């Protein structure tokens, strides 16, 4: 019987965080709690906080820390997270949120915070190579040798690059992420809770590194 785990996962876009979160969630049998999913679920279930968040989002605003922390608190109190643990993805984003998380998770504190490290040039290359079928959404990776126009193997639609996957757009997102996340990495490092994992290589190898490190600190 594999024991649960209580984790926060950090990593820049394109680092493979989504894939590894799914695998970790299955391996440790804990919910993968991403901020977006959590918000949508709260709105759908019409919880008090969900309705407050919906009102703000409908008005074009950003849901503030108080509501986000309340939502995380609610989610972590559910039986699955309470008994087995959780993987938080997309929260906390700021040191203030991290401090609030320490308070609401006081009875089920983090085992560790994973920083999935992939060099900026690597993720830039990965994201810049992404192509998608405009009609059916099938994903492709450009190698440079494709015939133009590039036609989807599944449906015959046009295979294109998304507007927000261009190097300029990706660089802007990566800058923003670094600006936001470096204080958080410093905070968890200073409090001895940061585990940096090399995210370069085959997903199976990265997964093995992750579970080895997690099992070590738990
Ligand atoms: Zn297609």
Active-site position among 120, 130, 193, 218? 130
Active-site pick, 17, 75, 131, 209: 17
d(CA 124, CA 85): 33
Contact 147, 130 (CB under 8 A): no
Report the separation in Å between the CA atom of 97 and the middle of ligand 1, taken as the mean of its atom positions.
41
For the purposes of burial, counting CB atoms within 10 Å of the CB of 150, is it exposed (0-12), middle (13-18) or buried (19 or more)?
A: middle
For the stretch 36-77, pLDDT in tens is 899 999 999 999 999 999 999 999 998 999 999 999 999 999
* pLDDT exceeds cutoff 90 at 191: yes
CA quadruple 18, 20, 26, 32: dihedral sign: negative
Rounded to an integer, what distance in angstroms lies between the CA atom of residue 201 and that of residue 143? 18
Q: How many CB atoms lie within 10 A of CB 21?
A: 23
Active site residue 17: yes
* Active-site residue identified among 93, 108, 126, 218: 93
Cα-to-centroid distance, 149 and ligand 1 (Å) = 13
Measured in Å, residue 140 CA sits from the centre of ligand 1 at 10
pLDDT above 90 for 8: yes
Question: What's the mean pLDDT in 31-37?
Answer: 93
Q: Could you confirm whether 54 is annotated as catalytic?
A: no
Q: Which of 126, 173, 193, 218 is catalytic?
A: 173
Q: What is the pLDDT of residues 62-115, one digit of tens each?
A: 899 999 999 999 999 999 998 999 999 999 999 999 999 999 999 889 999 999
Reported as type and span, the H/E element at residue 89 is: strand 85-89
Helix H or strand E encompassing 26: helix 17-28
CA 127 to chain centre: 16
> Tokens at residue 97, please?
């949120």
Check if 93 is active-site: yes
Residues of the chain above pLDDT 90, percent: 89
Q: What is the pLDDT at residue 170?
A: 92
Please answer whether residues 98 and 187 qualify as being in contact, where contact means their C-beta atoms are separated by less than 8 angstroms: yes
Helix axes 167-190, 120-128, angle to 10 degrees: 140
Confidence of residue 27 (pLDDT cuts 50, 70, 90): very high
Ligand 1 ion local residues (Cβ < 5 A): 133, 135-136, 138, 152, 154-155, 157
* Bridge partners of residue 116, in order along the sequence: 197
Residue 108 designated active-site: no
Q: Does 119 score more than 90 pLDDT?
A: yes
Express each pLDDT in 170-187 by its tens digit. Answer: 999 999 999 999 999 999
Q: Dump pLDDT digits (tens) for 131-160.
A: 999 999 999 999 988 988 999 999 999 999
- 173 in active site: yes
**For position 218, what pLDDT does the model report?**
84
Is the pLDDT at 2 greater than 90, yes or no?
no
Residue 18 three-state SS: helix
Size of the chain, expressed as the number of residues it contains: 218
161 Cα–ligand 1 center, Å: 13
Q: Is residue 1 over pLDDT 90?
A: no
């Amino acid at each position: 019987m594999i024991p649960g785990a209580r984790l926060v996962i950090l990593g820049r876009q394109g680092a493979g965080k989504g894939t590894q979160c799914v695998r970790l969630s299955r391996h440790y049998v804990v919910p993968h709690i991403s901020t977006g999913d959590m918000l949508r679920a709260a709105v759908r279930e019409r919880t008090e906080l969900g309705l407050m968040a919906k009102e703000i989002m409908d008005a074009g605003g950003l849901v503030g820390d108080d509501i986000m922390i309340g939502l995380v608190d609610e989610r972590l109190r559910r039986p699955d997270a309470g008994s087995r643990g959780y993987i938080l993805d997309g929260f906390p984003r700021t040191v203030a949120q991290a401090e609030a998380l320490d308070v609401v998770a006081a009875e089920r504190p983090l085992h560790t915070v994973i920083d999935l490290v992939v060099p900026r040039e690597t993720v830039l290359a990965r994201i810049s190579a992404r192509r998608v079928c405009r009609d059916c959404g099938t994903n492709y990776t450009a190698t440079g040798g494709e015939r133009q126009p590039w036609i989807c193997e599944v449906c015959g639609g046009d295979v294109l690059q998304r507007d927000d996957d261009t190097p300029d757009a990706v660089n802007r997102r990566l800058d923003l992420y670094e600006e936001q996340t470096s204080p958080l990495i410093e905070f968890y490092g200073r409090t001895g809770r940061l585990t940096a994992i090399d995210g370069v290589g085959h997903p199976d190898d990265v997964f093995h590194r992750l579970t080895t490190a997690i099992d070590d600190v738990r």
